[in-house]
Chains A and B, each alone.
Chain A
Amino acid sequence: MADQDRRERDEQSLVVADSDVLVRHLIADYLRHCGYTVIEAASFEEAVTVVEAGSITPAVVLSDVELSGNGNGFALREQLTRTRPEVRVILAGSITSATHAAADLCEEGPHLARPYDPQLVLERIRRHLARRNSQVNQ
């Protein structure tokens, strides 16, 4: 792959790291509609594995602070700062901040316009979480 092609592909690639599948999927899906290629990581280890594999250099890792596995979001940022300093790591401590971060990334992204209101993403995450929690508690 030519260097320029690789650079363009990397600039349009993101990793979304979140151990709650409902949050991860909806944030990732939104960012895909913004034009990004999104890699979903479900744990600290998965995020480290995909970023350190080196086949891509994602522009950004958007990670929840709480991650399952042997490290949290802070540990992930610390490790990637050491091993892949060119990768920007954004930490989100809540679904609201994750959605806002995704909306900001969308503004910077390959497409010129947001595909839909990020508030809808937040509402949909909340609805799905509420539905799951009510099922689990039954």
Chain B
Amino acid sequence: MKGSGDCGIPLAAAVGNGDQFPILLVEDEIFIRLASADWLRDAGYAVIEAANPQEALDILASGQPLAMLATDITMPGPMDGLDLAAHVRGTRHALPVLLLSAHVPENPADHADAALSKPFSPSELVSTVERLIGEPWQTRTGGSGTSKAS
């Protein structure tokens, strides 16, 4: 498993999506967050929704293993999506990062593994995620998939 360190606490396998590493989706605009999360769930991925970077930090601090981070850039508060991406790259080196923004930086590769300009379609979002972490079955915990988590 790529990047799995001591950050993951064992999850009760029978609880929720305990059999799948989730995508951490960070978006402060509720309807965009809802739609994006629905598209990813419909495609078969597990998703944790965070409404701002502080909530994302709470998830990271809880030790939840993740398949990837997908974050908006411009959000209210002291930290934006680029700060969050930098934090993740410093603490969970192997976790793929996807930026979702109407204002993607000039060199997104400096900050993340990929970037999508808003507005994006369901298929654009899902295909980008698939390129970064594979198909949903590949995010499963346990032996059968080529699961990656950090």
Interface residues of A (CB under 8 A from B): 20-22, 25-26, 29-30, 33, 39-43, 46, 49-50, 53, 116, 120-121, 123-124, 127-129, 131-132, 135-136
**B17, A131: Cβ atoms closer than 8 Å:** no
Chain B residues whose C-beta falls within 8 Å of the C-beta of A128 in the assembled complex: 62-64
Given contact pairs A25-B48, A127-B9, A131-B62, A42 touches B55 in the complex (Cβ within 8 A)? yes
Contact partner of B15 among A20, A21, A39, A124, CB < 8 A?
A: A124
User: A116-B15, A123-B12, A131-B61 given. 19 additional CB < 8 A pairs?
Assistant: A21-B51, A21-B55, A22-B58, A25-B48, A29-B16, A30-B16, A39-B34, A40-B34, A42-B55, A46-B30, A116-B14, A121-B15, A124-B12, A124-B16, A128-B63, A128-B64, A131-B62, A135-B63, A136-B61
**A40, B49: Cβ atoms closer than 8 Å:** yes
> With the chains together, A39 CA to B14 CA distance in Å?
23
Chain B residues whose C-beta falls within 8 Å of the C-beta of A42 in the assembled complex: 30, 51-52, 55
Chain B residues whose C-beta falls within 8 Å of the C-beta of A131 in the assembled complex: 9, 61-63
**A132, B30: Cβ atoms closer than 8 Å:** no
Is chain A's interface secondary structure helix, strand, loop, or mixed overall?
helix
Max count, chain B CB within 10 A of own CB: residue among A40, A121, A127:
A40
Minimum Cβ distance to chain B for residue A97 (Å): 19
> With the chains together, A29 CA to B18 CA distance in Å?
10
> With the chains together, A127 CA to B16 CA distance in Å?
15
Minimum Cβ distance to chain B for residue A137 (Å): 10
**A120, B12: Cβ atoms closer than 8 Å:** yes
Chain B residues whose C-beta falls within 8 Å of the C-beta of A120 in the assembled complex: 12, 14-15
Per CB-CB distance, the 5 closest pairs between chain A and chain B, nearest first, are A42-B51, A135-B61, A21-B55, A128-B62, A29-B16
Given contact pairs A42-B55, A43-B51, A132 touches B62 in the complex (Cβ within 8 A)? yes
A-B contact pairs, 21 of them (CB 8 A): A21-B48, A21-B51, A21-B58, A22-B59, A25-B49, A39-B34, A40-B34, A42-B30, A42-B51, A46-B30, A46-B51, A50-B34, A120-B14, A121-B16, A123-B12, A124-B16, A128-B64, A131-B63, A132-B58, A132-B61, A135-B61
